Amino acid sequence: MEPFVRSVGKAAALPRANVDTDQIVPKQFLKRLERTGFGPSLFHDWRYRPDGAPNPDFELNRPEAHGATVLVTGANFGCGSSREHAVWALAEYGFRAIVAPSFADIFFANCCQNGLLPVRLLAREVDELLRRCRAAGGEYWLTVDLEQQRVEDGAGFSAPFPMDPYRREMLLRGLDEIGRTLLEEPRIAEYERHRAAGTAP
């Protein structure tokens, strides 16, 4: 997993609340066994018209959103079913961070397990970012710094965000739960040796 320390990237605005995981990746695309290949399905029902043509009215299809790595969106993002595919699709599309006032708990945890940083800001701070995205009339860039736990735009916006120390360390080091456990491999092996010899504490 790629560590997340500090990312500078173009922001895309998705001013919608209660975006659920079935909207992020519709159920008909969940047949793959691999973790890859979900990027093209991201927001499928919003991105495409019934005839398969791109929907020019959808926020991420607008020219200023192309190549965005930070998604700024509404409250309760990632609600609904607990499909991890939603996080895989967002990451494969190119997003490194999602900024919202709140997230569904399981979605938040899945983001942290897959190197996608979920950033909680106050609702008024997210509203200001959405306003600045609109006002930019083109590209709008954000710096998301996990070491400093701060979001900035270089034009006067700066806001801190919370992150519990355990998840922060995991993201900074690029570790999921398995990777974190493997750091303890020497201690685990030593315990097993003692256990086999009947000398385990």
Report CA-CA distances (Å) from 6 to 79, 87, 97, 195: 26, 19, 10, 43
| Domains of the chain, residue spans | 6-163
pLDDT digits (tens, 9 = 90+) for 130-185: 999 999 988 999 999 999 999 999 999 999 999 999 999 999 999 876 666 655 56
Cβ atoms < 10 Å from Cβ of 65? 19
What is the predicted pLDDT for the residue at 82? 87
CA-angle at 154, arms to 115 and 138, nearest 5° = 85
Fold adopted by 6-163 = Aconitase; domain 4 (3.20.19)
Provide the pLDDT for residue 138: 84
pLDDT tens-digit profile of 58-92? 999 999 999 999 999 999 999 999 899 999 999 99
Model confidence over 82-125: pLDDT tens digits? 899 999 999 999 999 999 999 999 999 999 999 999 999 999 99
pTM beyond cutoff 0.85: yes
Both tokens assigned to 81: 């079913």
